[in-house]
Structure 1
Amino acid sequence: MHIRNSQPAQHPKMTVYRDTVLLSDPTLLAKIDNLRDLNIGQHVPLPQLVVVGDQSSGKSSLLESLCGIPFPKAQSLCTRHATQITSRRSDEESVKITINPGPHASELHRKQLEKFRQTLPSGQNLRERFADILAEANKSMGLRAEASKGEGDIFSEDVLKVEIQGPNEDYLTVIDVPGIFRTTMEGTTKNDMAMVKELVRGYIKDDRTIILAVLPSNVDIATQEILELAEEYDKSGERTLGVLTKADLVLENRAQAAVCDLIQGRRRPLTLGYFLVRNRGPDNGDVEPSELDQIFRQSPWNDLPPGRVGIAALKEQLAVLLVEISRREFPKLLREVNDKIKECKKELAGLGPPRQDEREQRSFLSRIAEAFQHRARAALAADYQADPAFDQTELRLITNVVNITEVYSAEFRQGAHARHFEDVRPVPEDEYSESEPEEDQGQRTVQCLRKLLDEAKLDEYTPDESNELGSILVPPARPRYSWYNGTVTTWIADTYLRSRGLDLGTFNAHQVSMAFAEQSRNWGALTSVYMSRVVVTLHRFIATALRSVCPDDEARKQLWSAILDSLVERYQKAVDHAHLLIEVERHKQPYTLNQQFSEALSKARGERITELLHPKARKDTKQYGELQYMVNLDDIARAAAGKRNLDRMQEEIHDILRAYYNLALDRFVDNVFHLAVGHNLLHGPSSPLQVFTQEWVFNLEPDSLEQIVGESRATKKSRSVLTKKIDDLTKALKILKR
């Protein structure tokens, strides 16, 4: 171990405080002890003196010398738990003995330990009854009556606390921990050996702990594992004090010289140095410490500094150290308790409001529903500035739906018709151009939107989405575009020839119905893909919005499970509505009162006549100064004279179909958006967005409410632990401030 100098180790402030510490700091020491009463040491380290050493190092005898309590010294009755001994000066004598549960104690074990409480009138009574009290404490901790046999554990994390008050007591608090052993004994295992070592590590690791390393003088110090263990956490040796016991057993001159070298700092020095003591042994009876200390008047011990030999000198130094470390650490301790309270409150807030009973559960879920509805309204209104959560693309609901709809509309106009319509407009030769038209701005917009849809992966589903939405989801299908199927005129002619009857230049209206059903056969596939994309977008919005307003994973999982069936039911209703619109449009008798149909049909008929007259027209530029085509009125009357009935009927069906198809397409796309999507999915009273509302929460049965947001066992435990921790730390803060 490192040391700052090679001179005999003396605590630098000992001479300053030696005469005043016992009189001026009882309040400070009492505060630290009160914190121990609250078991605050498991949350923040407290200033303390911890006695550690190997088994048979003389720890028990040392504690008896320091505190006057006769700890059992037999090997079979070794210390099997930590013991905190606090002595305080008071006008009246009293002794109180309790057990503080270990950090991993169950609630049942804690309650069992609360029953153990002993009060005695004096320290003398404690000394007379201590062996029996220790046996009762071991039983309460669940330890075996004897280490070598019986049921129960051998060692415990619980702490036996002994508080002694009286007019002759000194101000001192020490903690004794089980002795380290290297080989298993009867009744112990390697796990016990490891547990004891970890228990010792837990007590000595903090900077606020003074380590009293008990070392037998008659054994080579190099064999004492406790110094190696202390060095792991106190590399500079600044808070390790060596206590050499069994001075009366060091008989050889060489061994005595080695002990003197330790005391005088010439060998394995420690900043706090070493003390040499002689404790009462089994054969010493009731010999007073002063009589035992007579050995230090003999050579070679009489050459050692008086402040480094004997129990009285050690007790005085321990009192000084305890006060000094308490004074030094007090401001940091106060700050740490404050920080711990803030940390615990933040962690408790992360659990959300308490949900122990029906009132708390309904209030909790109602607030989540309100926040969800607020987010849904903002998403439908594109009010994305209201909350930074809308930086997530999934929450920009109406924007995503509008983009999907615009792509749907463009794809519908591009590929919804099964066959190519003929363009009957004549193109004058002088108006013909071989140059390609410039790319349409609207088409570029649609291409950008398609890219956004690809990035959103609306046609790729997670396993959960596939399981939850099932048959509602439709993978994108590639329609057989019109140029693969030929012209609609060819299909009309073929169908007419296969189904005509006796007619005189007329056709059955059913021919138009059949033609329209054929021409609109892609409507269902394109609309199903559109509805699937909108449903996925809405489903992802709801899931993301719930994650943003309900951070509790378990509660959100249960809530999602509770509303999922209703969500799917409403999605399906919207999809069914879209299918109904498809069915109505495609398979009903075509009919409309829209004037645009008549205008389009008249225009088509006019273009047919214009096409027939165009070869007979002559150019004329005289009347208006621009190119005009002039026709003879008699040519108009004879224009269609040469056409067969079949040709005229093909053209008539084609032109009626084209005029009606374009009108029906616009109407259908609008209806799908406004009714199936807008009303059923977004804004209507049966929208999936209206599944999770405050009204729904108010109507939940208590059992359902408990299942959804009732706290899990782990959450309840965390909340209980944090609440108690905050309560204990708050009490500790009051103790420190008063």
Structure 2
Amino acid sequence: MKKSNSTILAVVPANIDFKNQGVLALCEQHDSKGERTVGIITRPDMVQRAQAETCVAIAQGQRKDEVSIRHDWHVLRNRSSDELKNGTTIEERDAEERNLLSRDPWARLGPENLGIDTLRARLSTILFGAAGREFPVLAAKTKLQLEGLTARRELLGGDNRTVKEKQDIFYAATQSLINRTQFYVEGIYGQDTIHLGADHAIKLRARIVEQSELFRDRIFNEGHSYVSQLELSGLNPDADQCSIAKKSRVSPMKKLTPSSKAPEVEIQDAKKYLDENRGMELPGTFNPRNINDFFWEQSKPWNQIAEEHIGKTFEHCELYFKHATEMAFAPESLNENKFTFGSHLVVANRVFKLICIGLEKLKKEAKAELNKIENDRTKTQLNFNPKYMAEYRQQRNARNAARAINAVAKDAVLQNKDAKRPPPELNPNTLAELQNRHTQSDRTEEEADDFLRSAWIHYRVVERHFMRRLSELIPDVRDIEAKEFQRLVEEDKELEEEKDKLKQKSDMLQRCLQILERWT
């Protein structure tokens, strides 16, 4: 009744005063102009002549002060309760109705307003007339509803797709991921990353370079049991090797702080060690195998630092793929031809988890390779690297030259103290005495110094070799492939059900719109 496009049938019994009919008050409230109301008078056989005259007068519009309806009134005769009990048929009812309404005063209303048959025809005419006015409005509303449903379906990824369509979309997304990764691992980025900060995980090459620099710095600065103050021969080629990355852009690791020893303390400790661990070597010499102990002790932190480096490197890879897979499967506002899944974040997360399985496998392989290197570290040390021999010879020649110069200076001091002192006899013993290389204690201390320098040079050479080996453990992310397409692209069941419901509503509205457009 409240709807503006509805038709109201105001059924009023003839044997009840019209003024007491609540339905007429409702019609006045919701259809004050009477344009949608059709008045129907029933029970014409239940009133006397005077009441019948009043009903006819109202139906003819002679009592508008009491009832105002635009359409003509219609009169019907229904079966009474007694007739229903006695089984009066429809045909008998119709015959009785025609007999009653053909007499005065009802006949004055005209045959088109009397009886059930003419009411059907009248209502059809009224309804189609109303429809003619309302259909354009309904069609416009239906179009708006269709547009709204279409928009909702698009937000959900469109209609449920076939297996072939899913495979095509998945293939395009994974190819995009592969292409992105091939460029990103080389440090080549596109316009879709320009808004990302310098520390974003998607910039994988920068993250790996920074993490590797940090690893290198840690091996150089933290990878010893203690820091030596000995001045090894030649310039340190690693003096300028330090990371330029900001601390905020690298994954923090537990910092190790090696202790520090003064040169004289270090030499005395080495001398004490050699004295306490003498074997078959001749007095005043050292057993080269003692370098093993030194190397093993000094390189203890390597494995811990390397394990942390592998873990942090793989963290960068995982975080990269977390963002890269979402970017590969996400819709693009600038690319209308790119189709994706309604639950593209769900599918991207499944792909990411699959990649993580592959990364974890590679991580285990890297740690297994690291264990092999650790086993090599703890075995007897062999060094055929020419770098070791060249550096060892250079530092030994430098020390011999320094000792010779010191001997001359020492003799000059003695000459100044005693002008009558005769020049020293130049023989091996006096020369060794001037160089502090004569007594057994002098020789042991010299060998301790020589031992330390040999050990440190060996340590540095193996250190660089270790880093080169470790760089081979990091996997090439371009080798990772996606698997199990069907399992990965399976849509969310609740989402599919919702999309099916929206599709059904859209189809129904589309059929309604086609019907409405025929009448507009």
TM-score, normalised by the number of residues in structure 1 = 0.48
Larger helix fraction of residues: 2
Q: Secondary structure at the match of 1:423?
A: coil
Letter in 1 for 2:381: Q
8 Å contact from structure 1 (residues 279, 292) kept in 2: no
Pairing of 1:25-64 with structure 2 (within 5 A): none
Letter in 1 for 2:223: A
Pairing of 1:378-527 with structure 2 (within 5 A): 378-385=183-190, 387-388=192-193, 391=196, 393-424=200-231, 445-446=244-245, 448=246, 450-453=247-250, 458=251, 476-483=253-260, 489=267, 492-502=270-280, 503-527=282-306
- Find the counterpart in structure 1 of residue 334 from structure 2: none
CA apart distance, 1:529: 1.0
Alignment equivalent of 2:489, drawn from 706, 709, 722: 709
Pairing of 1:331-346 with structure 2 (within 5 A): 333-334=142-143, 337=146, 339=147, 342-343=150-151, 346=154
Deviations 1:383-410 (A, max 9, x none): 2116449848222211111111112222
8 Å contact from structure 1 (residues 394, 537) kept in 2: yes
Cα distance in 2 for residues equivalent to 1:419 and 1:596? 21
Cα distance in 1 for residues equivalent to 2:21 and 2:255? 84
- Find the counterpart in structure 2 of residue 282 from structure 1: 79
Cα distance in 1 for residues equivalent to 2:65 and 2:366? 89
- Find the counterpart in structure 2 of residue 370 from structure 1: 175
- Find the counterpart in structure 1 of residue 453 from structure 2: 655
Pairing of 1:219-258 with structure 2 (within 5 A): 241-242=36-37
Deviations 1:625-682 (A, max 9, x none): xxxxxxx998986323255233122211211122222232233223312x112xxx12
2:385 is aligned with 1:570: no
8 Å contact from structure 1 (residues 345, 726) kept in 2: no
Pairing of 1:68-147 with structure 2 (within 5 A): none
Letter in 1 for 2:182: R
8 Å contact from structure 1 (residues 334, 736) kept in 2: no
Q: Secondary structure at the match of 1:514?
A: helix
8 Å contact from structure 1 (residues 574, 676) kept in 2: yes
CA apart distance, 1:213: 4.8
- Find the counterpart in structure 2 of residue 154 from structure 1: none
Q: Structure 1 pair 315/419, CA: closer, same or farther in 2 (3 Å)?
A: same
Cα distance in 2 for residues equivalent to 1:326 and 1:633? 131
Larger strand fraction of residues: 1
Q: Secondary structure at the match of 1:572?
A: helix
Alignment equivalent of 2:435, drawn from 639, 643, 646: 639
8 Å contact from structure 1 (residues 213, 227) kept in 2: no
CA apart distance, 1:538: 1.0
Deviations 1:551-580 (A, max 9, x none): 535544555565554432122112222333
Cα distance in 2 for residues equivalent to 1:597 and 1:221? 123
Q: Structure 1 pair 321/595, CA: closer, same or farther in 2 (3 Å)?
A: same
Cα distance in 2 for residues equivalent to 1:500 and 1:657? 17
- Find the counterpart in structure 1 of residue 5 from structure 2: 210
8 Å contact from structure 1 (residues 605, 655) kept in 2: no
2:322 is aligned with 1:322: no
8 Å contact from structure 1 (residues 489, 651) kept in 2: yes
Cα distance in 2 for residues equivalent to 1:346 and 1:246? 53
Q: Secondary structure at the match of 1:575?
A: helix
- Find the counterpart in structure 1 of residue 479 from structure 2: 690
Letter in 1 for 2:479: Q
Cα distance in 1 for residues equivalent to 2:493 and 2:465? 56
- Find the counterpart in structure 2 of residue 579 from structure 1: 371
Alignment equivalent of 1:532, drawn from 305, 311, 319: 311
Amino-acid identity (%)? 12
Letter in 2 for 1:377: Q
CA apart distance, 1:350: 5.0
Deviations 1:212-253 (A, max 9, x none): 4556556999988x969xx9xx9x999994556556599999
Q: Secondary structure at the match of 1:644?
A: helix
- Find the counterpart in structure 2 of residue 549 from structure 1: 328
- Find the counterpart in structure 1 of residue 419 from structure 2: none
Q: Unpaired runs of 5+ in structure 2? A: 84-92, 234-238, 330-342, 411-423
Q: Unpaired runs of 5+ in structure 1? A: 1-51, 53-203, 427-439, 460-475, 619-631, 698-703
Pairing of 1:259-278 with structure 2 (within 5 A): 278=75
Q: Secondary structure at the match of 2:5?
A: strand
Cα distance in 1 for residues equivalent to 2:495 and 2:310? 40
Larger Rg: 2
Letter in 2 for 1:507: F
- Find the counterpart in structure 2 of residue 626 from structure 1: none
8 Å contact from structure 2 (residues 9, 38) kept in 1: yes
Letter in 2 for 1:709: V
Q: Structure 1 pair 264/523, CA: closer, same or farther in 2 (3 Å)?
A: farther
- Find the counterpart in structure 2 of residue 664 from structure 1: 462
Q: Structure 1 pair 348/640, CA: closer, same or farther in 2 (3 Å)?
A: same
Cα RMSD of the aligned pairs, angstroms, is: 5.2
8 Å contact from structure 2 (residues 321, 352) kept in 1: no
Cα distance in 1 for residues equivalent to 2:385 and 2:369? 23
| Greater RCO (Cα-Cα under 8 Å, separation 6 or more) | 2
Cα distance in 2 for residues equivalent to 1:410 and 1:349? 49
CA apart distance, 1:521: 0.9
TM-score, normalised by the number of residues in structure 2 = 0.66
Q: Secondary structure at the match of 1:286?
A: helix
8 Å contact from structure 1 (residues 600, 659) kept in 2: yes
Cα distance in 2 for residues equivalent to 1:609 and 1:296? 150
